[in-house]
Amino acid sequence: MPTSCTGPRQPRERARHNLRMSKPVIAVYPGTFDPITLGHQDLIHRAAGLFDTVIVAVAMAHHKKTMFTLDERLDAVREVMHDYPNVRVEPFTGLVVEFAKQHGARVMVRGVRSVTDFDFENQLAGMNRALAPQVDSVFLTPDARYQHISSTLVREIATLKGDVAQFVAPAVHARLLQKLKS
């Protein structure tokens, strides 16, 4: 049924209209980024094209041991994303939905590489929605060239002296090599 300018809008049209006519959309893309990979960069690049502001939220990662310190991870993400004026990089601890609410974010960006990722991310999105209904989860898939890349595998291969240059930006590769020397 067509709608007129004077008639009521359908729910989907109303949501689209409200999104366009309201304040800028801030998205949060959380992760440990230990290290940031080309897959992460691909998702940030695409999110930067979709949303007015993207906050790359680098987790303190109290739940796992990281190769890089929080400051090193923040520096690496800032270095490789410096050409994106609408991307900010900030640390966070605690619940990411609380971080999102504190920064006025309406969207949580999550990367999904496989069905396994989707199952986990879908459950996480449900929990996040229960905690913060005003923050919607948006799933993005990386370019096919990057779907197999994970920070965990990059760290493992690098630690075993394998070549990971094809999985990370040159600046990140240099940081990995330096870290493994020390």
For tokens 């080309």, the residue is 38
Backbone angles phi, psi at 30, to 5 degrees: -90, 155
Beta bridge partners of 87: 54
What residues form DSSP beta bridges with 91?
Answer: 58
Pairwise CA distance, residues 68 & 169, whole Å:
16
Contacts of 82 (CB under 8 A, 6+ apart): none
Q: How many CA atoms lie within 13 A of 40 on its CB side?
A: 28
Amino acid letter, 14:
R
* Residue closest to 61 by CA, chosen among 30, 82, 39: 30
Q: Which residues contact 177 (CB under 8 A, 6 or more apart)?
A: none
> What residues are annotated to the active site?
40, 64, 113, 151
d(C-alpha 65, C-alpha 63), whole Å: 7
